[in-house]
A and B are shown apart, each in its own frame.
Chain A
Amino acid sequence: MAQRKAELQQRVEDLLGEAKRQGASAAEAGVSSDAGLSLTVRLGETETIEHTRDNGLGVTVYFGRRKGAASTSDLSPQALKETVAAACNFARYTSEDPCAGLADAGLMATDLPDLALYHPWKQSVEQGIERAIRCETAARELDTRIVNSEGATLNSHDGLQVYGNTHGFIGGYPSSRHSLSCAVVGKQDENMQRDYWYTLSRQGDRLQSPEQVGMTAAQRTLSRLGARQVATQQAPVLFQADVAVGLLRSFVGAIRGSTLYRKASFLLDHLGRQIFPAFIEIHEEPRLPVGLASAAYDNEGVATARRDFIRDGVLESYVLDSYAARKLGMETTGNAGGVRNLRINSGELDREGLLRKMDRGLLVTELMGQGVNMVTGDYSRGVAGFWVEGGVIQYPVEEITIAGNLRDMFMGLQEVGTDVETRSSVQSGSWLIDRMMIAGG
């Protein structure tokens, strides 16, 4: 790995050198190389074995305030020269953009701690298949109503990425990512339902056991059988943690620099304003060891650091890269490439506690469709989940929608659960929201 890293660093140095030679006043470049194994078993038999190997190289050049970019999957020296030439050619035609350029030199990360992101998972194809079969078998054997399977899939990927720019910054690190997932089909009378579960970690030995993943997938499928509509009405809604993460992502999308300078956000000009109840805190922790989204520097080489976005319910910071920051007359927040290990603080209640607190309403376990309008905050999604009365799940529901406006939903947040979803770069417990419009039969 160390040798491969040195090779990729050399490629980045070569790209930057070539860009300078071709007349660029500044340049930045990234090179990545990933390899992995992906295998699927279905009904107890191997279905696919995929060996993946992906290379990528990208360069952005600046001629003063004009910019050009090019990328390729070919890491050969010849391709490298041609890619730089293509980027330089584009820079002849793009416009002078006063905000274009590298991030400021003074912001470059200087300490690059090892964040322990690389944990190769040594296993043969046969061992991988055996794990996947154990997973699928556990799902299929849980209940006779599990009648079919889409299979179990094991993924194990290792990658190496290097980024550098003409400020002299160069950084690179290896990382790994492993997952095991399972999806099964259940049938009861004429009703057929499917659901899935997965486990994901940078460390193979930190994954949930294959049996646990399989059984969870089967239980989730079984719990949906016999789903029906509910009547159109207003009611409180509890977003289970794995779907509540999506609400948090919508929040991040609305405070992202590119959305803001385009005036495409419903949270435009909300800095310093109350957008959540006072008990809500949202922050990111980019340098968390072994974190799924950890990095010591962002996609522009800017040092990352712990940052509060919401404190006491008030919007404290946007999510900015250097371009958006200049457009808004602000400073980058080191978020080129997105947020890293974002987390909303939890209250005291677990999911069961939240169900009791809700008493009567809708528990949402699946969201469908793209009905989130970032410009207005209008929110309308297809959902599946469970109807709750007296704090207890009554029956599964489907083919209904929920609608509201994200601004009201954020302010109507009653409580965040302790049942935190950790398989994501954005982490959250379940959200209880005071009321939304449910459309059904």
Chain B
Amino acid sequence: MSDLIQIAQETILTPVGLAEQDLDRMLGELTGNGIDAADLYFQSSRLESWVLEDGIIKEGAHNIEQGAGIRVISGEKTGFAYSDELQLPTLQEAARAARAITRSGADQSVRIAGMPMPRQLYAPINPLPSLSETEKIELLRQVDSEARQQDPRVKQVIVSLVGAYDVVLVAAIDGTLSADVRPLIRLNVHVIVEQGSRREQGSSGGGARESFDYFLDQARALGYAREAVRQALVNLDAVDAPAGAMPVVLGPGWPGVLLHEAVGHGLEGDFNRKGTSAFSGRIGEQVAAGCCTVVDDGTLPGRRGSLNVDDEGTPSRNTVLIENGILKGYMQDKHNARLMKTVSTGNGRRESYAHLPMPRMTNTYMLPGEYKPEEIIASVERGLYAVNFGGGQVDITSGRFVFSASEAYLIENGKITRPVKGATLIGNGPEAMTRVSMVGDDLKLDAGVGVCGKEGQSVPVGVGQPTLKVDELTVGGTEQ
């Protein structure tokens, strides 16, 4: 039995008097003719947040959630119920509700067994006590003062610090018994600067599956403060963005939001099983330029999007989505993999016990190419160089995606000239990917702040890419 399973049992089951045999018995009641899969998902999570604003520690809050979700699958039908009470009778009631999708019933016995963990990508720690309250407050104050020291035009600084400790335990009628202990921390800095009557904002931050010490290490948190101020000051000088189709060079790291939207979502198993994605049925086809290789990798140590096992107990892995422009594979959870006659890629994720799992990304990024970033910029006569983004959105079916630049510059005659105001970039995923003409050698992953939303469920994710050039994207500025 792995340590993680033991931690999860002691955290969730023992306090309410549940033992492994109770899970065996409950799962037994979820078996029967016509039932293809069923699982129990137990979760206990603690979240703590601090906010500094106007130079004072304004808010501190704590949240505890605990519960279990019970899922029963028959063919394409899913029955689901959950409870925030973990008493056996309540759970059995939820189990009856979940299995009501099939009328047949022939209880079989189930014996779950823990499998050895392939590897541990992060320590099974609770990050919340990793700094004392006094030290957390001191950290927030230092970030505030670092931001204010940068420039007298800084008028407002908001710093937030969030830590979460998530313990999950999954048991399924296929014998799966698996657990994960997931620390997650995040620090964000938002600043407003003022010059005359003009005001602009900038923000930065980072996070990881680590203890809070991560932010003290190499004064990381202070770097976020300087970065937020730098962005805001750049925007004070920004002129109106151009409008229309033009070459766009995307900086390394966070601009990987492009891949997340333009190809990532479209390659999730559920959309492809249903045939509603612009990438449906296109495995083996050229869907991107030959210089593009894109992976979804849940196995990067300590990363925000990484998972030891996904929320169905499947170990995460590094899945090649697009290799040299050819579509190689989809991201799968167990349910969609079963229906598509393939195997889960460890991408079955859920926001919490109160939500159904579905195929979701982990850390999605493009592998590096051969060009120096300077060469890429020098190749553009007139275009946009976008280095920071707010967020994005995609219409899976048509492939249309947008993402919003928050820091961008004009490229004129191969040189970066003036900063321009934030603008939305819009394109069509499969088309945009075939227009990638140069990929840099400077792969960078984001700093660890990504949140992905799908069907109302939010999960932490990572993105990344080297500098890359798209020959033509539509830029939504105001200057013709």
Any chain B CB within 8 A of the CB of A42?
yes
* Residue A209, interface by CB 8 Å: no
| Chain A residue with Cβ nearest B61 | A69
Nearest B residue to A45 via CB reads B76
* CB within 8 Å for A148 and B275 given contacts A403-B243, A403-B477: yes
User: How distant is the Cα of A92 from the Cα of B62 in the complex, in angstroms?
Assistant: 14
The answer to whether the Cβ of A247 comes within 8 Å of any Cβ in the partner chain is: no
Q: Are A399 and B62 in contact (CB under 8 A)?
A: no
Q: Are B192 and A192 in contact, with the CB atoms below 8 A?
A: no
Interface string of B424-443 (1 = CB under 8 A from A): 10111000000000000000
Q: Are B101 and A378 in contact (CB under 8 A)?
A: no
A370 touches B426 (CB 8 A): no
> Interface range on chain B: under 10, 10 to 19, 20 to 34, or 35 or more?
35 or more
Establish whether residues A371 and B77, one from each chain, have CB atoms under 8 Å apart when the complex forms.
no
| A263 vs B192: C-alpha distance when bound (angstroms) | 8
Are B62 and A369 in touch, CB under 8 angstroms?
no
Kindly state whether residue A352 has any CB partner on chain B within 8 Å: no
Give the complex CA separation of A225 and B245 in angstroms. Answer: 22
The smallest C-beta distance from A274 to any residue of chain B, in angstroms, reads 18
Check B459 for interface membership: any CB of A closer than 8 A.
no
**A-contact 0/1 string along B218-247, CB 8 Å cutoff:** 000000000000000000000001011100
* Complex contact B64–A79 (CB within 8 A): yes
Q: Mark B109-149, 1 if CB is under 8 A from A, else 0.
A: 00000000000000000000000011011000000000000
Interface of A is mostly: strand
Tell me the nearest residue of chain B to A48, going by C-beta: B78
Q: Is the CB of B402 within 8 A of A368?
A: yes
Task: Report if A299 contacts B (CB, 8 A).
Answer: no
| Residues of A close to B475: CB separation below 8 A | 401, 439
Question: Smallest CB–CB gap between B393 and chain A, Å?
Answer: 5
For residue A317, CB closer than 8 A to chain B, the reply is: no
- Kindly state the separation between the CA atoms of A53 and B59 in the bound complex, as whole angstroms: 29
Which of B80, B194, B400, B480 interacts with A437 by CB under 8 Å?
B480
Q: Find chain A residues with CB under 8 A from B401 CB.
A: 368
- Expressed in whole angstroms, the Cα–Cα distance for A434 and B84 within the complex equals 52
Set of chain A residues within 8 Å of B158, measured between Cβ atoms: 262
**Which residues 74-104 of A sit at the B interface, judged by CB distance below 8 A?**
74, 79, 82-83, 86-87, 89-97, 100
| Contact residues in B for A45 (Cβ distance below 8 Å) | 76-77
* Residue A185 at the chain B interface, CB threshold 8 Å: yes
- Taken together as a complex, chains A and B put the C-alpha atoms of A83 and B404 apart, in Å, by 39
Q: State in angstroms the CA–CA spacing of A47 and B401 once bound together.
A: 27
Q: B61 touching A71 by the CB < 8 A rule?
A: yes
Q: Which residues of B contact A50 (CB under 8 A)?
A: 80-81, 356
Contact with B along A183-224 (1 / 0, CB 8 A): 001000001111000000000000000000000000000001
Cβ B59 vs Cβ A369 within 8 A: no
Q: Are A194 and B397 in contact, CB atoms less than 8 angstroms apart?
A: yes
- State whether B478 touches A404 (Cβ < 8 A): yes
A70-B63 in contact (CB<8A): yes
The answer for the CA separation of A137 and B404 in the assembled complex, in Å, is: 37
A290 to B78, CA, bound (A): 34
Separation in Å of the B37 CB from the closest CB of chain A? Answer: 14
Q: How far, in Å, is B136 (CB) from chain A's closest CB?
A: 8
Are B477 and A193 neighbours in the complex by a CB distance under 8 Å?
no
Q: Which segment, of B17-25, B92-100, B162-170, B361-369, faces chain A?
A: B92-100
| A125 cross-chain contacts in B, Cβ below 8 A | 100
Q: Within 8 Å CB of A229, what residues of B?
A: 474
What range describes how many residues of A lie at the interface? 35 or more
Nearest-neighbour CB distance to chain B for A288, whole angstroms, equals 27
Contact B393 A382, beta carbon cutoff 8 Å: yes
Cα(A193)–Cα(B428), bound, Å? 12
Min CB distance A127 to B, Å, is 14
Distance between Cα atoms of A224 and B132 in the complex (Å): 56
Shortest CB-to-CB span from B402 to chain A, Å, is 3
What's the nearest-Cβ distance from chain A to residue B427, in Å?
A: 7
Rounded to whole angstroms, the CA-CA distance of A94 and B60 in the bound complex is 7
Cα distance A369–B137 in the bound complex, in angstroms: 35
Tell me whether B290 is interfacial, beta carbon within 8 Å: no
Bound-state CA distance A405–B101 (Å) is 51
Known: A49-B80, A399-B426. A376 touches B199 (CB 8 A): yes
Residue of A nearest to B51 (CB): A94
Contact B392 A369, beta carbon cutoff 8 Å: yes
Contact indicator per residue, chain B 460-480, by CB within 8 Å of chain A (1) or not (0): 000000000000001111111
CA–CA, A50 and B70, complex, Å: 10
- Verify B243–A73 contact, CB threshold 8 A: no
Taken together as a complex, chains A and B put the C-alpha atoms of A150 and B396 apart, in Å, by: 11
Say yes or no for B58: interface residue by CB 8 A criterion. yes
Q: Cβ of A71 and Cβ of B62 under 8 Å apart?
A: yes
Most B Cβ at <10 Å: residue of A87, A371, A381: A371
A42 to chain B, nearest CB (A): 7
Which residues 59-74 of B sit at the A interface, judged by CB distance below 8 A?
59-67
Q: Does A22 contact B (CB under 8 A)?
A: no
Let me know if A283 is at the binding interface, CB within 8 A.
Answer: no
Taking the closest CB of chain A, its distance from the CB of B96, in whole angstroms, is 10
Q: Please give me the residue from chain A that is nearest to B63 by CB atom.
A: A71
Give A29 Cβ to nearest chain B Cβ, in Å.
14
B199 to chain A, nearest CB (A): 5
Q: Using Cβ atoms and an 8 Å threshold, which residues of chain A touch B192?
A: 262-264, 375
10 interchain residue pairs of minimum CB distance: A401-B476, A90-B60, A382-B402, A194-B397, A95-B56, A369-B402, A439-B243, A232-B244, A69-B61, A51-B81
Question: Interface residues, chain A, CB within 8 Å of chain B?
Answer: 42, 45-55, 67-74, 79, 82-83, 86-87, 89-97, 100, 125, 148, 150, 185, 191-194, 224, 227, 229, 232-234, 262-264, 268, 368-371, 373, 375-376, 378, 380-382, 384, 398-404, 437-441
Binding site for A on B (CB under 8 A): 53, 56-67, 76-84, 94, 97-98, 100-101, 133-134, 136-137, 155-156, 158, 192, 194, 199-201, 241, 243-245, 274-276, 278, 354, 356, 390-393, 395-398, 400-404, 421-424, 426-428, 474-480
Q: What would be 11 A-B contacts, judged by CB atoms less than 8 Å apart?
A: A54-B84, A93-B134, A96-B56, A192-B278, A262-B192, A371-B402, A403-B241, A439-B426, A439-B476, A440-B244, A440-B245
Given contacts A71-B63, A72-B63, A380-B423, 17 further A-B pairs with CB under 8 A are A50-B356, A68-B61, A71-B61, A72-B64, A74-B84, A87-B62, A89-B133, A93-B137, A191-B398, A194-B396, A224-B398, A229-B474, A232-B244, A370-B391, A378-B421, A382-B424, A439-B475
